[in-house]
Amino acid sequence: MSASVAVGRGPSIAHDRVLLGVAVFIASESVFFLAIVLAYLAYRDAGLATAKANLDIPRTAIFSIALFSSSATMALAARHGSRSWLVATIALGAVFLAGQGSEYARLLASGIGPGRELFGTTFFTLTGLHGVHVLGGLVALFALLAAHIRRRSALRPVAFEAVGLYWHFVDAVWVVVFSVVYLGTLL
């Protein structure tokens, strides 16, 4: 399998049904996140003080790096049709989610939940929706892994490309969310 895919020349979005479908889906999802991010920004000022006092930037930055590097491992997995890079991607995604989980636990323990001020409402909605998308991505990655184990040679390279495209999107959304929510408190 890995040999059959030429380096840097995957199926193209403009001609492949699956890739185009994922691309169109991502475009639509972007509008969804845009709406939520705009709502976050609309209420940013009201929640800024709470955000500054409670968000742990360095810690989240480390978990973010896990997610960002999972984009690289995903690219490698797609390029080589490689199972181990796939596993690495899943692991990094899971680390990110665990980080989010512990961040939530910490905030909830200090009394900040979705019902606590506008900050809680917007923060948990935005990061929660992103988290759900990461979870969805992980499910897709698992399915890909399972398919890869079951029928190693029959799997079309486009499956990697498609899941990868989605994973990069989830990653890109986090770039925006991290900037707006976390780095935004530094402004």
Listed in sequence order, the residues at least 6 apart from 81 whose beta carbon sits closer than 8 Å to its beta carbon are 1, 2, 4, 5, 148, 155, 157, 160
How many chain residues bind other proteins (CB under 8 A)?
Answer: 28
Q: How far is Cα 116 from Cα 131, in angstroms, rounded to an integer?
A: 20
**CA nearest 74: which of 96, 90, 63, 62?**
90
Q: How far is Cα 175 from Cα 169, in angstroms, rounded to an integer?
A: 10
Note whether 1 and 150 are within 8 A (CB). no
Complex with other proteins: residue 24 or 146, whichever CB lies closer = 24
Q: Does 118 bind other proteins (CB under 8 A)?
A: yes
Candidates 100, 121, 127, 185: give the one binding other proteins (CB under 8 A): 121
Find the binding residues for other proteins in span 21-60 (CB under 8 A).
Answer: 21, 24-25, 27-29, 31-32, 35-36, 39, 42-43, 46
Listed in sequence order, the residues at least 6 apart from 184 whose beta carbon sits closer than 8 Å to its beta carbon are 44, 51
Find the binding residues for other proteins in span 141-170 (CB under 8 A).
Answer: none
Q: How many CB atoms lie within 10 A of CB 95?
A: 17
Instruction: Tell me how far, at minimum, the Cβ of 179 lies from other proteins, in Å.
Output: 19
**Contact range with other proteins by CB under 8 A, out of 65-73, 97-105, 111-119, 148-156:** 111-119
Instruction: Tell me how far, at minimum, the Cβ of 30 lies from other proteins, in Å.
Output: 8
Q: How far is Cα 129 from Cα 122, in angstroms, rounded to an integer?
A: 11
**Contact range with other proteins by CB under 8 A, out of 65-73, 83-91, 95-103, 113-121:** 113-121
Instruction: Tell me how far, at minimum, the Cβ of 168 lies from other proteins, in Å.
Output: 18
Q: How far is Cα 36 from Cα 83, in angstroms, rounded to an integer?
A: 35
Complex with other proteins: residue 84 or 110, whichever CB lies closer = 110
Binding residues for other proteins (CB under 8 A)? 15, 17, 20-21, 24-25, 27-29, 31-32, 35-36, 39, 42-43, 46, 113-115, 117-118, 120-122, 124-125, 129
